């Protein structure tokens, strides 16, 4: 697990600069710190991550960010291939290290979801045809993917108490865990308080949560559906109940289901598109204070 704070010495070692340079940057305000009771500088993890990404430092040793070594130390590593191999081998630590190192080097959360993680899961998907071994690998890869995406979440700044809320999940017959979880973390990265209800969430349950949390955006994840007309009817009913709250749908079968639903649904094809939609929505909202 990552620590909540880094010492200047650890961060300096991680990015290959001297401790005295790092302390100078702290004192000039380039890097925000908290002080211990004894007056020592302590850098909050999220601030260290912000600094490294904003200033483009190459992380030589990601271990102080809570990531075990074995990550993307070699600039030439093919991230998609490396993540695929790590998932196939069931190597959660390496997968976390690869993705976290890419994030620290400046890749965005939506692009990592749409890129290396989606590509690796897609390639693994062909294995289900190969019998029970393939299915076991898919289940394990799913659980690793969830760990990786959760690891990214801890680098995000704390959500403001007045942050807009977004709620979502999969439809009743959708068992897929990763897409909805990714949507939640991507929306957190966009400054939302995201509530992921997960797979198998029927409309009535979702609407109960809507009444409770008053979201400004609702998402539906549509991967494992078979009856497009039924899901389309459900989506239309949901959009009707949501009124002005936008209903965003994504996933393998989103476009077909939305077509069947008719009006009132925003189809997005990727996590990058979701982030763009969510950011634009916040900008359009009137300020409440």
- Which residues lie near ligand B12 (CB under 6 A)? 113-114, 118, 121-122, 124-126, 128, 135, 138-139, 142, 175-179, 182-183, 219, 221, 223-224, 248, 250-252, 268, 270-271, 274
Instruction: Give min distance, CB of 206 to ligand B12, in A.
Output: 13
Query: Toward ligand B12, which CB reaches closer, 32 or 135?
Result: 135
User: From residue 252, how far is each of 52, 176, 191, 226 by CA, in Å?
Assistant: 35, 11, 26, 11
Contact indicator for 140, 89 with CB cutoff of 8 Å: no
Residue number, 59 or 124, with CB nearest to ligand B12 = 124
Tell me how far, at minimum, the Cβ of 56 lies from ligand B12, in Å: 26
Query: CB of 78 within 8 A of CB of 38?
Result: no
Q: How far is the CB of 40 from ligand B12 (least distance, A)?
A: 42
Bridge partners for 165 per DSSP? 193
Shortest Cβ contact with ligand B12: which residue? Answer: 250
* Token pair listed for 288: 């409440």
Secondary structure (3-state) at 262: coil
The total of other beta-carbon atoms located within 10 Å of residue 142's CB is 17
Instruction: Please report where in the chains the tokens 């009006």 appear, as a residue.
Output: 263
Measured from the CB atom, is 62 or 110 closer to ligand B12?
110
CB nearer to ligand B12: pick between 42 and 123:
123
Q: How far is the CB of 235 from ligand B12 (least distance, A)?
A: 12
Closest contact distance (angstroms) between CB of 149 and ligand B12 is 9
CB-nearer residue toward ligand B12: 71 or 179: 179
Tokens representing 224?
Answer: 């494992």
> Which residue in the block uniquely carries the two structure tokens 């890869």?
141
């Amino acid at each position: 697990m990552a620590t909540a704070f880094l010492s200047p010495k650890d961060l300096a070692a991680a990015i290959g600069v001297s401790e005295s340079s790092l302390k100078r940057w702290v004192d000039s305000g380039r890097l925000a710190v908290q002080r211990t009771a004894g007056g020592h500088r302590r850098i909050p993890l999220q601030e260290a991550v912000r600094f490294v990404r904003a200033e483009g430092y190459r992380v030589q040793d990601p271990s102080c960010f809570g990531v075990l070594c074995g990550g993307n130390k070699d600039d030439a590593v093919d991230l998609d291939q490396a993540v695929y191999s790590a998932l196939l081998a069931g190597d959660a630590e390496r997968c976390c290290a690869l993705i976290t190192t890419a994030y620290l080097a400046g890749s965005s959360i939506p692009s990592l979801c749409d890129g290396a993680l989606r590509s690796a899961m897609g390639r693994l998907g062909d294995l289900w045809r190969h019998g029970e071994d393939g299915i076991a690998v898919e289940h394990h890869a799913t659980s690793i993917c969830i760990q990786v995406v959760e690891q990214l979440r801890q680098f995000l700044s704390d959500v403001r108490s007045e942050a807009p809320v977004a709620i979502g999940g999969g439809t009743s017959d959708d068992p897929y865990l990763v897409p909805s979880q990714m949507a939640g973390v991507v929306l957190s990265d966009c400054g939302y308080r995201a509530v992921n209800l997960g797979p198998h969430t029927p409309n009535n349950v979702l609407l109960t949560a809507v009444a409770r949390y008053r979201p400004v955006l609702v998402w539906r994840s549509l991967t494992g559906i078979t009856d497009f007309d039924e899901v389309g009817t459900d989506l239309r009913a949901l959009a009707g109940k949501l009124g002005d709250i936008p209903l965003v749908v994504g996933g393998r079968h989103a476009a077909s289901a939305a077509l069947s639903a008719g009006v009132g649904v925003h189809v997005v094809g990727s996590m990058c598109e979701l982030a763009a939609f969510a950011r634009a929505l916040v900008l359009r909202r009137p300020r409440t204070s």
